[in-house]
Structure 1
Amino acid sequence: MNVVQPIRDPDVIEGIKQYLKLRSFRNYLFFCMGIYSGLRVSDLLHLRVGMVRGTHITIVEKKTKKKKRFIIHPSIRDDLDRYIAGKDDNEFLFPSRQIKKKSRLRGQPFDRSTAYKMLNDAAREFGLKEIGTHTMRKTWGYHLYMQDDRNLALLMEMFNHSDQTTTLRYIGITQDMMDAAIMKLA
């Protein structure tokens, strides 16, 4: 299994947001929802328009079957409202542009492989390596932790981790600490 990293540099995050926004408003909002919610890609892909009309989103996570409620980040509210204007509440928030091969359905969510390709294309533009679909979730956790390390208990809860070590390793803090320790060697 490949290890993926969070995006640590806030300037790179802003750059990726602008890069995506110029290419696809849908992909830009997908990335923003990922880095501001901590949701897994599988949960992001199954959001529906009606779920994001208010200030908070409530979902049942696909993997854990746990109910989760979180706020929509104010910095993307206007863009999100513009994106969903005129859309039906039952439409998927991030629909594929293609017709699904097996079911022949339109308007289904795009695939996680599409998310992976989109993220990696953007990452390449910014010289990032070790990027995958969990990068957005890890980025959210990393920056929440860096903002205030007292958020560790919250992150453990959000990620459903049973110990701090797992959470710190997941968001890349352990790697940062090892890198810093090696750099201090005389």
Structure 2
Amino acid sequence: MSKQHEIKDVQPIRSLEKIEDMKWSLKKWCGERDYILFLLGINSGLRVGDLLKIKVSEIQGKQVVSLREGKTGKRRTIHLGNIYDELNAYIGTLNGSEWLFPSRKGQNPITRVQAYRQLNKAAQMVDMPDGIGTHTLRKTFGYWHYKQFRDIAELQNILNHAHPQITLRYIGITDEQIESNLKSFRL
């Protein structure tokens, strides 16, 4: 398989400091659109393909939205209260665009390839040697949701995975981390 077509197993961003670095880098080097894409991705757990299909009319002025996921066809409720102000300030700059993440060329949203390029550009600026992929946003959401609530069944449901093991592997919770947690577990 050629280097260009290798499938990269991306990981979640496990450091809050690196998440803040990425936010800074996206704002400085890429722009508000790409920053908001990252922010919405890590706070919603939606796939990048679903994020790119969001229309302004579906989300503007709302703290809770219901969107249909492309891969599963299932409806998903997204709570935006924690990023509402930033999201709506950004929407105010879109000058009537139909799409939440409009391309600078034409009337369409940006592509997955363009989203990937922008995310990697920002990652390179903050010394993330492995870079990141479009799934990094969803995996980061899953990782931090699990770290905060420790409810794998709930997260499995949110991410629409068939089994808890799929979810644990997806968010990068390894046997080593589970073992480490169990060593310090005491009631």
Q: Give the TM interval when normalised to the shorter protein.
A: 0.7 to 0.9
Q: Taking structure 1 as reference, are residues 22 and 175 closer, same or farther at Cα in structure 2, changes over 3 Å only? A: farther
Distance in 2, matches of 1:163 and 1:108, equals 36
Are 1:27 and 2:34 an aligned pair? Answer: yes
Match of 1:122 in 2: 122
1:71 aligns with 2:79: yes
In the alignment, which residue of structure 1 is the partner of 2:108?
108
Structure 1 unaligned spans of 5+: 99-105, 182-186
User: How far apart are the structure 2 equivalents of 1:41 and 1:176?
Assistant: 29
d(CA) in 1 for partners of 2:127 and 2:97? 38
SS at match of 1:69: strand
TM-score (norm 1): 0.84
SS for the counterpart of 1:173 is coil
- 1:137 alignment counterpart: 138
Cα distance in 2, alignment partners of residues 137 and 146 from structure 1:
14
Q: Secondary structure at the match of 2:12?
A: coil
Structure 2 distance, partners of 1:19, 1:89, is 26
Q: How does 1:35-184 map to 2 (within 5 A)?
A: 35-53=42-60, 54-74=62-82, 76-85=83-92, 87=94, 91-98=98-105, 106-128=106-128, 129=130, 131-150=132-151, 152-174=152-174, 177=177
Structure 1 pair 80–154 and aligned structure 2 pair: CA distance change class (3 A): same
Number of residue equivalences? 172
**Matched residues, percent identical?**
41
CA distance in 2, matches of 1:176, 1:17: 29
Unaligned runs of 5+ in 2: 1-6, 182-187
SS of the residue corresponding to residue 65 of structure 2 reads strand
Task: Give the alignment's TM-score, normalised by structure 2.
Answer: 0.84
RMSD of the alignment, in Å? Answer: 2.1
> Quick one: which amino acid aligns to residue 112 of structure 1?
R
